[in-house]
């Protein structure tokens, strides 16, 4: 029998809201690596999916949809001081659940900031208020300086989440390889200073999912390797990206937000209709969807450098940050069909886990503009290795579920930190928990730029003076 490392012990109850692909995949990791009785875990979910998985592990499973009207009673009665509320749901307000957990004295973690059902596509709101930027600003406004509130880790899956820790390790690797003497920074200012000194202009969360099945997508069906409702929701939000100080060309149809940290901009179009150029070691260069994710804003904000100019602070450095996502090929076809139906979701869904026959999820961060041009650092997890490492996972879900585990462990070890983003956590501790489940974790330099092969078939309007302008990255 395999002996697994117990990273921490937990004496409270753990209440999991939502039990889709991520909930089912994280349950065995929790039972392996956190020392707690399984009879202190309860799952509350909106549908029967996953019931057999919960029963196989002897964990309480209840089908009770959480709504705006019932969440305080339904969830509130299950948690108290010292417990943990793990939110893996869709269409349930993350902010509402986090505030409930705080009021009850419980810890909290989610993998993204969800609004109540319909919030992502509520056309009564302007695009700025349907954005991850707005959701993040609202969540961070709930911080209570001076209070020792229970830890609430927000947006800690693979991305957002794990990739923020990849960014820090990648920067240290680049510093070492370019002769920049740098101790591990201990605060936000130190990390911003290091990024500026390295000359990092852009950070892509660059992901290529090559997992396939022998049962191709059918007409009227959305196929994906992780939450379909989640993908459609975020793909329907405005395109969002952290906006760097090196940028010289304002994008067509772009807007700034009229509030908040001002670290990001948005395009007045869905993220799933916007493509960008990027690179990963196995795939090489490719086009990915610029799907909005909280890490595009939080990373850009975290690494911002300011200097005092009189009574004000002027931004002197910030990288451009965004997600560049090529999902599995069946999901690409699903998005194409979705867009052709004016973003009305297909009547049928198929989440592929057990039926995946081959492929990898190559997920990492591409840091570019420095002395060695571009450096990708991340996970190249195959479906075969994912199945060997943990049941109820494919390569995509395992990268998420182990990051959830890492966030749980960190929160349990640091229980009075209030609201915390991934960028503010101990990246080394989280990576220590995650590494055994990520397959090959590699770093690779490349001389690729988004100007490679451009202007051959047709003339293109590009900026040859600076390859890493977003103008060159964006697929027109």
Domain-wise residue ranges, the chain: 8-153, 162-394+438-475
Percent of the chain with pLDDT over 70: 100
Q: Which residue has the tokens 């937000």?
A: 257
Work out the average pLDDT over 35-54.
97
What is the tens place of the pLDDT at every residue in 246-281? 999 999 999 999 999 999 999 999 999 999 999 999
Q: Which residues contact 336 (CB under 8 A, 6 or more apart)?
A: none
Total number of residues shown for the chain? 476
What is the tens place of the pLDDT at every residue in 391-445? 999 999 999 999 999 999 999 999 999 999 999 999 999 999 999 999 999 999 9
Give the E-state strand segments of 174-263 in sequence order.
Answer: 202-209, 212-213, 221-224, 238-242, 254-256
pLDDT for 13 equals: 98
Residue 469 has pLDDT above 90, yes or no: yes
pLDDT for 1 equals: 59
Residue 310 has pLDDT above 90, yes or no: no
pLDDT for 313 equals: 87
pLDDT for 346 equals: 97
What is the tens place of the pLDDT at every residue in 196-226? 999 999 999 999 999 999 999 999 999 999 9
Work out the average pLDDT over 174-184.
96
- At 3, the pLDDT band (50, 70, 90 cuts) reads confident
Q: Are strands 14-17 and 84-87 parallel, antiparallel or unpaired?
A: parallel
Q: Are strands 275-280 and 284-289 parallel, antiparallel or unpaired?
A: antiparallel
Work out the average pLDDT over 156-184.
97
pLDDT for 312 equals: 80
DSSP 437: G
Q: What's the chain's average pLDDT? A: 97
Per-residue CA distances from 316 to 80, 208, 393 (Å): 45, 33, 43
Equal CATH topology for 8-153 and 162-394+438-475 = no
Under DSSP, is residue 102 helix (H, G, I), strand (E, B) or coil? helix
Work out the average pLDDT over 134-156.
97
pLDDT for 309 equals: 82
Q: Give, in words, the CATH class of 162-394+438-475.
A: alpha beta
Angle at 197 between CA 196 and CA 203, to 5 degrees: 45
What is the tens place of the pLDDT at every residue in 72-124? 999 999 999 999 999 999 999 999 999 999 999 999 999 999 999 998 989 99
Percent of the chain with pLDDT over 90: 96
pLDDT for 48 equals: 96
Helix and strand numbers (H, E) in the chain are 14, 25
Work out the average pLDDT over 157-166.
98
Q: Give, in words, the CATH class of 8-153.
A: alpha beta
**pTM given for the model:** 0.98
- At 308, the pLDDT band (50, 70, 90 cuts) reads confident
């Amino acid at each position: 029998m395999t002996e697994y490392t117990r990273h921490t012990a937990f004496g409270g109850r753990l209440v999991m809201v939502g039990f889709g692909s991520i909930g089912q995949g994280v349950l065995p990791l929790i039972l392996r690596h956190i020392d707690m009785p399984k009879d202190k875990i309860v799952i509350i979910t909106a549908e029967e999916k996953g019931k057999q998985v919960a029963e196989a592990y002897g964990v309480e499973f209840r089908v009770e949809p959480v709504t705006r009207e019932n969440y305080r009673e339904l969830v509130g009665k299950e948690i108290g001081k010292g417990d943990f509320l793990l939110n893996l749901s869709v269409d349930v307000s993350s902010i509402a659940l986090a505030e409930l957990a705080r009021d009850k004295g419980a810890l909290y973690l989610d993998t993204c900031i969800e609004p109540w059902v319909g919030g992502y596509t509520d056309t009564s709101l302007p695009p700025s208020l349907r954005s991850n930027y707005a959701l993040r600003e609202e969540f961070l406004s709930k911080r209570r300086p001076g209070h020792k509130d229970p830890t609430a880790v927000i947006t800690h899956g693979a991305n957002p989440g794990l990739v923020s820790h990849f960014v820090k390790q990648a920067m240290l690797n680049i510093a070492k390889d370019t002769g920049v003497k740098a101790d591990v920074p201990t605060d936000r200012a130190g990390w911003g200073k290091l990024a500026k000194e390295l000359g990092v202009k852009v950070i892509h969360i660059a992901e290529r999912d090559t997992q396939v099945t022998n049962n191709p997508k059918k007409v009227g069906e959305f196929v994906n390797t992780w939450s379909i409702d989640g993908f459609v929701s975020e793909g329907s939000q405005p395109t969002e990206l952290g906006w760097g100080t090196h940028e010289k060309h304002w994008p067509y149809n772009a807007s700034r937000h009229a509030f908040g940290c001002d670290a990001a901009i948005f395009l007045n179009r869905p993220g799933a209709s916007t493509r960008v150029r990027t690179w990963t070691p196995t795939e090489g260069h490719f086009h990915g969807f610029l799907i909005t994710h909280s890490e595009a804003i939080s990373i850009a904000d975290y690494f911002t450098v300011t200097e005092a100019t009189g009574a004000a602070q002027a931004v002197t450095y910030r990288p451009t940050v965004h997600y560049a996502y090529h999902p599995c090929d069946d999901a690409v076809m699903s998005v194409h069909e979705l867009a052709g139906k004016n973003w009305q979701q297909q009547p049928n869904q198929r989440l592929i886990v057990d039926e995946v026959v081959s492929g990898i999820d190559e997920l990492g961060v591409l840091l570019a503009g420095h002395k060695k041009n571009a450096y990708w650092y991340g996970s190249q997890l195959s479906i075969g290795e994912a199945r060997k490492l943990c049941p109820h996972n494919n390569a995509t879900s395992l990268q998420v579920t182990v990051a959830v585990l890492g966030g749980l462990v960190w929160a349990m070890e640091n229980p009075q930190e209030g609201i915390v983003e991934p960028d503010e956590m101990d990246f080394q501790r989280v990576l220590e928990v995650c590494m055994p489940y990520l397959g090959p974790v590699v770093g690779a330099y490349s001389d690729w730029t988004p100007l490679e092969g451009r202007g051959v078939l047709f003339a293109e309007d590009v900026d040859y003076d600076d390859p890493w302008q977003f103008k060159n990255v964006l697929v027109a």
